[in-house]
Structure 1
Amino acid sequence: MSPDDLLAALDPEQRAVATALRGPVCVLAGAGTGKTRAITHRIAYGIRTGVFQPQHVLAVTFTARAAGEMRTRLRSLGASGVQARTFHSAALRQLGFFWPKVVGGAPPRIVEQKAQLVAEAARRVGLGSDRTAVRDLSSEIEWAKVSLVVPDDYATAVAALDRPVPDGNDALALARLMTTYEQVKEERGVIDFEDVLLLLAAMLAERGDVAQEVRGQYRHFVVDEYQDVSPLQQYLLDQWLGGRQELCVVGDPSQTIYSFAGASPHHLTGFRRAYPNAEVVRLVRDYRSTPQVVALANRVIDETRRAGGPAPLELRAQRPDGPEVRFATYADDESEAAAVAAEAARLVAAGTRPSEIAVLYRTNAQSEAVEEALAAAGVGYQVRGGDRFFARRDVRDAMVLLRGGARSADPDQPMAQSVREILTAAQWQSSPPAARGAARERWDALQALVVLADELAAATPTARVIDFVHELDERAAAQHAPTVEGVTLASLHAAKGLEWDAVFLVGMSEGLLPTALADSPAAIAEERRLLYVGVTRAREHLQLSWARSRTPGGRASRQVSRFLAPLWPGERRSPAGGNAPRTVSADPVARRVAERLRAWRDEHARQTGVAPTRVLTTTALEAIADRRPRTHEELARLRGMGQQTIATLGDTILGLVAEAAAPVG
Structure 2
Amino acid sequence: MVFVWQNGDLNEEQTDAVLHNGNVFLAACPGSGKTRALTYKIALELSKLESERHWVVAITYTHRAAEEIAERIERLGVSTDRLWIGTIHSFCLDWIIRPYAIYHDGLANGFRVIDQHETDDILAELCEQSPNFVRPLDCRYYFTTEGFELEGANPNRRAAAAAVLQRYWDRLRDHRQLDFEMILSSAHELIVGNPSISVLLGSLFRYILVDEYQDTKEIQYAIIAAILRASVGNTRTFIVGDPNQAIYGSLGGYAMTQLEFAARAGIELADKSLSNNYRSSEKIVGYFSNYCVFPAVVEAVGKDSEYESLISFDREINHQELDDEIVRLIRYNIETLGISPHEICVVGPQWVQLAAITRRLVAALPEYSFDGPGMAPFSRDQDNIWFKVSRLALTRPEPQMFTRRMRWAGEVLEHFRSVGVDISKTSRRDLLRHCNQIEILVDDGLEYLDLFFDELLLVLGIDIALFPSLGDHRTAFFERSRAQIERLENAGLQAVSNIAMFRRVFATRAGITVSTIHGVKGAEFDCVIAFALLEGMVPHFADPNALDSAKKLLYVISSRPRKNLHLIAEVGRVDGRGEPYETTNILSEHIFGYDLVAAVE
TM-score exceeds 0.5:
yes
The structure-2 alpha-carbon separation of the partners of 1:423 and 1:252, relative to structure 1 and needing over 3 Å to count, comes to farther
> 2:26–2:238: 8 Å Cα contact kept in structure 1?
yes
Query: Which residue is 2:100 aligned to?
Result: 98
> 2:215–2:246: 8 Å Cα contact kept in structure 1?
yes
Mean alpha-carbon deviation: is it higher for 109-118 or for 250-259? 109-118
Mean alpha-carbon deviation: is it higher for 486-495 or for 110-119? 110-119
The structure-2 alpha-carbon separation of the partners of 1:374 and 1:202, relative to structure 1 and needing over 3 Å to count, comes to same
**Structure 1 residues 425-444: aligned runs within 5 Å:** 437-438=494-495, 442-443=499-500
| TM-aligned CA deviation for residue 447 of structure 1 | 6.1
Query: Which residue is 1:375 aligned to?
Result: 363
Q: Does 1:265 align with 2:255?
A: yes
Q: Helix, strand or coil for the counterpart of 1:248?
A: strand
Query: Which residue is 1:318 aligned to?
Result: 302
Query: Which residue is 1:44 aligned to?
Result: 43
Aligned equivalent of 1:341, options 303, 314, 327 = 327
Deviations, residues 217-271 of structure 1 (Å, cap 9, x unaligned): 2231001111111111112112332434511111111011111111121345734
Q: Distance in 1 between matches of 2:593 and 2:238?
A: 46
- Identity within the alignment, %: 21
Deviations, residues 339-392 of structure 1 (Å, cap 9, x unaligned): 212322343446533222101111222222353034212232134334367869
Q: Does 1:524 align with 2:524?
A: no
Q: Distance in 1 between matches of 2:390 and 2:247?
A: 37
RMSD: 4.0
Q: Distance in 2 between matches of 1:528 and 1:311?
A: 13
> 2:56–2:208: 8 Å Cα contact kept in structure 1?
yes
Normalised TM-score (structure 2): 0.72
Query: Which residue is 1:581 aligned to?
Result: 597
Q: Does 1:111 align with 2:114?
A: yes
Aligned residues: 494
Deviations, residues 576-633 of structure 1 (Å, cap 9, x unaligned): xxxx5389xxxxxxxxxxxxxxxxxxxxxxxxxxxxxxxxxxxxxxxxxxxxxxxxxx
Query: Which residue is 1:254 aligned to?
Result: 244
User: 1:372 is matched by which residue type in structure 2?
Assistant: R
| TM-aligned CA deviation for residue 284 of structure 1 | 0.9
Query: Which residue is 1:296 aligned to?
Result: 287
Q: Distance in 2 between matches of 1:395 and 1:331?
A: 44
| TM-aligned CA deviation for residue 119 of structure 1 | 4.4
Q: Distance in 2 between matches of 1:264 and 1:524?
A: 15
| TM-aligned CA deviation for residue 55 of structure 1 | 4.6
Q: Distance in 1 between matches of 2:85 and 2:202?
A: 16
Query: Which residue is 1:190 aligned to?
Result: 177
> 1:26–1:271: 8 Å Cα contact kept in structure 2?
no
User: 1:66 is matched by which residue type in structure 2?
Assistant: A
Q: Does 1:514 align with 2:520?
A: no
Structure number with greater Rg is: 1
Q: Helix, strand or coil for the counterpart of 1:84?
A: strand
Aligned equivalent of 1:489, options 505, 511, 514 = 514
Q: Helix, strand or coil for the counterpart of 1:547?
A: coil
Deviations, residues 185-228 of structure 1 (Å, cap 9, x unaligned): 22222222222222223223333554443233223100111111
User: 1:16 is matched by which residue type in structure 2?
Assistant: D
The structure-2 alpha-carbon separation of the partners of 1:582 and 1:341, relative to structure 1 and needing over 3 Å to count, comes to closer
The structure-2 alpha-carbon separation of the partners of 1:558 and 1:568, relative to structure 1 and needing over 3 Å to count, comes to farther
> 1:54–1:79: 8 Å Cα contact kept in structure 2?
no
**Structure 1 residues 562-581: aligned runs within 5 Å:** 562-567=585-590, 581=597
The structure-2 alpha-carbon separation of the partners of 1:208 and 1:556, relative to structure 1 and needing over 3 Å to count, comes to closer
| TM-aligned CA deviation for residue 88 of structure 1 | 0.5
Mean alpha-carbon deviation: is it higher for 290-299 or for 90-99? 90-99
| TM-aligned CA deviation for residue 422 of structure 1 | 9.8
Q: Distance in 1 between matches of 2:207 and 2:594?
A: 55
**Structure 1 residues 429-468: aligned runs within 5 Å:** 437-438=494-495, 442-443=499-500, 446=503
Q: Distance in 1 between matches of 2:326 and 2:22?
A: 49
Q: Distance in 1 between matches of 2:581 and 2:315?
A: 11
> Which structure dedicates a bigger proportion of its chain to helix?
1
Q: Helix, strand or coil for the counterpart of 1:526?
A: helix
> 2:276–2:298: 8 Å Cα contact kept in structure 1?
no
The structure-2 alpha-carbon separation of the partners of 1:564 and 1:423, relative to structure 1 and needing over 3 Å to count, comes to farther
Normalised TM-score (structure 1): 0.65
Q: Helix, strand or coil for the counterpart of 1:369?
A: helix
The structure-2 alpha-carbon separation of the partners of 1:391 and 1:253, relative to structure 1 and needing over 3 Å to count, comes to closer
User: 2:251 is matched by which residue type in structure 1?
Assistant: A
Structure number with greater CO (CA < 8 Å, separation at least 6) is 2
Q: Does 1:546 align with 2:569?
A: yes
Q: Helix, strand or coil for the counterpart of 2:58?
A: strand
Query: Which residue is 1:590 aligned to?
Result: none
| TM-aligned CA deviation for residue 3 of structure 1 | 4.0
Q: Distance in 2 between matches of 1:342 and 1:14?
A: 40
| TM-aligned CA deviation for residue 14 of structure 1 | 0.4
| TM-aligned CA deviation for residue 16 of structure 1 | 0.8
